Amino acid sequence: MFIVFLILFLLSVHDLTLQPSQPQKSEELISLIKQRSGLELRLEDIGWSWKEEDIKGTTDDGEITFSDTKWLMYLIHWGPIQVQKVTVDYVKERMLKMWGVKFEFTGKEGMTKVSGHDAAWAEAYGTSKSFYTRFIIWNCPESGREFIADTNYNLRRKTPKEDFEKEMLSARTVQCHPGALTERSPELAKKFESDKYGFSFYYPEEWFISDSPYYVPFPQYEGIRGKEMGSLLGLCSDENISVTLRWSPLEESKKEEMVMGIEQKSLENLTKEIQSRKELDSFENYGIEYFTVNNRKIARIWGRCQFKEPENEQQKAFFTGKGIFQAAQWNLENKKKKIVAILLTRQYKYATEASLPARHLQDKFLRDLILRID
């Protein structure tokens, strides 16, 4: 029963920290933005959430705030070899016994290779189709271990399928014994390597890896983690991004005062935008820069910020209070509007580690946003 509680907690903890409890449809958000601002926006459907109080102002001068709720969970378990030959049936049996979840198998299953070893895999829905799982299991005779790549993503939160597929790519890079031949993908920029655990693998730069606080699924386990047995947990750092989109009348173009190559009015406007965010206690501006996207001149500031303590007790335990921000502004000449986008990413705690929000992930999101708004 305890194991059932652990997995359900692990799969639902993000739902407890985000409001509303269910993500709305992206087409509703796109329609709402067009209705309130006249702006055309193309957004990927990754489970955006918003509240009525996050929409302010008029079609001439207003704003809307929305947050992403995507979620995935990547686990690697290792321990003594349990069966001499790993088969699809064994994978299914392992899944059903391991977490205490009643999985609904989809029929997607088969054999593959990991580190030169035969590996079996199977896919299934879990917990009333709230999440989707793919298990890949193989034996490594050289190290005397069974490996389990336990890959999951949340369907309710509309996590992008490509994020889930990165888990499979990461599993294929596991080097479970010295000299093992592994695959490598350009999408996996970081490497986990441990002498203590005796293996390595590559993973996407938007993940962070920690020792799993949950049980190690081998009957021989007695609480000591090392080369013989253990579990690692991988989660996304770029979750919990909040996007505020502001629009206002386009001002008459005037030559701005420049000080050391910096347009002072742009700097003042963007600084005021960050200062106005009620969820922030403080921020540190690391700089201002100008660049062009699709013939639009963008002014941007970025840095670190401190969030106010949330009232929700579960959020207090989940978020650290730290985060990163950026604010950018540009003109939409065809709409006669000035656009400001404010991105905030909260750092959160999980197990013994904290997420690593990265500016370049915000940069990519901002560039896509600029290209998709008219």
Residues 258 and 125 in one domain: no
Residues 175 and 232 in one domain: yes
pLDDT in tens, the chain (374 residues): 334 434 444 444 444 444 444 556 678 888 888 888 889 888 876 678 888 888 999 999 999 999 887 788 999 999 999 999 999 999 999 999 988 888 999 999 999 999 999 999 999 999 888 899 999 999 999 999 999 999 998 888 778 788 889 999 999 999 999 999 888 888 899 999 999 999 999 999 889 999 988 789 999 999 999 999 999 999 988 777 899 999 999 887 666 665 455 688 889 999 999 999 999 999 999 999 999 998 999 999 999 999 999 888 888 888 999 999 999 999 999 889 999 999 999 999 887 788 999 898 899 999 999 999 98
Residues 227 and 94 in one domain: yes
Whole-number pLDDT of residue 289: 92
Whole-number pLDDT of residue 260: 54
Residues 116 and 217 in one domain: yes
Q: Which of 175, 210, 236 is the last residue of a domain?
A: 236
Judge whether 245 and 40 are in contact, CB under 8 Å. no
Whole-number pLDDT of residue 92: 97
What is the span of the domain harbouring residue 217?
A: 72-236
Residues 88 and 21 in one domain: no
Q: Which of 201, 236, 271 is the last residue of a domain?
A: 236
Residues 357 and 266 in one domain: yes
Question: Could you give the dihedral angle defined by the CA atoms of residues 64, 69, 70 and 73, in that order, rounded to the nearest 10 degrees?
Answer: 160
Residues 303 and 188 in one domain: no
Q: Which one-letter DSSP state was computed for residue 168?
A: H
Residues 47 and 110 in one domain: no
Question: What domain count does the chain have?
Answer: 2
E strand intervals along the chain: 55-57, 62-67, 72-80, 104-114, 117-126, 131-140, 145-154, 190-194, 199-203, 207-211, 230-236, 241-249, 258-259, 262-263, 280-293, 296-307, 319-332, 337-350, 353-354
Residues 131 and 126: their CA atoms lie apart, in Å, by 5
Residues 138 and 287 in one domain: no
The domain that contains 362 carries what CATH number? 3.40.1000.10
Judge whether 243 and 65 are in contact, CB under 8 Å. yes
The domain that contains 139 carries what CATH number? 3.40.1000
Judge whether 7 and 99 are in contact, CB under 8 Å. yes
Residues 374 and 27: their CA atoms lie apart, in Å, by 16
Residues 63 and 174 in one domain: no
Q: Which of 193, 209, 236 is the last residue of a domain?
A: 236
3-state secondary structure of 236: strand
Residues 197 and 250 in one domain: no
Residues 110 and 133 in one domain: yes
